[in-house]
Amino acid sequence: MKTKLENLNALELSADDITHVGVIITDPPYGISLSSHCGRGVNGRKENYGIAGDNNQDAGLHIIKIAKQAKIPVVAFFASPYKPWPGSWRNLIVWDKGGGTGFGGDTKTCLRRTWELIQVQNASPINEGRPESVWRCTFSNQIFKSHNCAKPVQLMERLIATFVPPGSMILDPFMGSGSTGVAAKNLGYDFWGIELEEHHYNTAHERITNTQPTLL
């Protein structure tokens, strides 16, 4: 099992760089200019925050483009329901976060959105049966201590177990705090993680390096 972690800009990747990759699973900037003004930040503090590159969809669209050029068989992208990724996607998954969390919009006029979209381009057979497309995966807000948009490891493990062929290398070009890498290592997959922001890269590096595989 191999793990490669890099602190660099995913926009620097080309199709030639990723020809050995079997699967891309990632949570890219959605292009929705996400921000919080004195809302919840990393470590639970009240602070302003934003997401690097979130003023447009360029970074995610670049990865979609080179994945197509490199003929990557499985690509799974988290997405904003208000601004999904263009193109043809074989599977659309609704991630039901449960009632304990949910953000978005003016609190006086907008419902609390407790779900998120996952778009999957899939040219490989699903590993087990035919699961439903609404996945409930609740979590504690404590996961936001490492990243404002952190994803639960158990959700990433389910994506991998469902869509990733055995022996594939998983690439996450926007790995954030490293949940995809932790899940990949737990399940015994090779992983290549890339993160632009140094402080998030350092968090991911520590988490993934300290993870011991639970399956061999």
CA 176 – CA 151 distance, rounded (Å)? 9
| pLDDT for the residue 105 | 65
CA 183 – CA 190 distance, rounded (Å)? 11
DSSP-based three-state secondary structure for 71: coil
The alpha-helical segments, DSSP class H, found in the chain are 58-69, 153-163, 179-186, 198-209
Task: Tell me the average confidence (pLDDT) per consecutive run of 10 residues in the chain, 216 residues long.
Answer: 95 97 95 54 47 79 96 94 92 87 71 90 88 88 59 94 95 96 96 96 95 69
| pLDDT for the residue 43 | 47
Cα atoms in the Cβ-side hemisphere of radius 13 Å centred on 100: 9
CA 115 – CA 89 distance, rounded (Å)? 19
pTM equals 0.86
Instruction: Provide the token pair at 126.
Output: 């699903």
Q: Which domains does the chain have, with CATH numbers?
A: 3-109+122-171+178-209 (3.40.50.150)
Instruction: Provide the token pair at 34.
Output: 């996400």
Neighbouring CB atoms inside 10 A of 21's CB total: 21
Q: Which residues, at least 6 apart from 189, have a Cβ–Cβ distance to it below 8 Å?
A: 1, 160, 164, 168, 169, 170
Burial 46-75 (b: 16+ CB within 10 A, else e): eeebebebbeebebbebbbebbeebebbbb
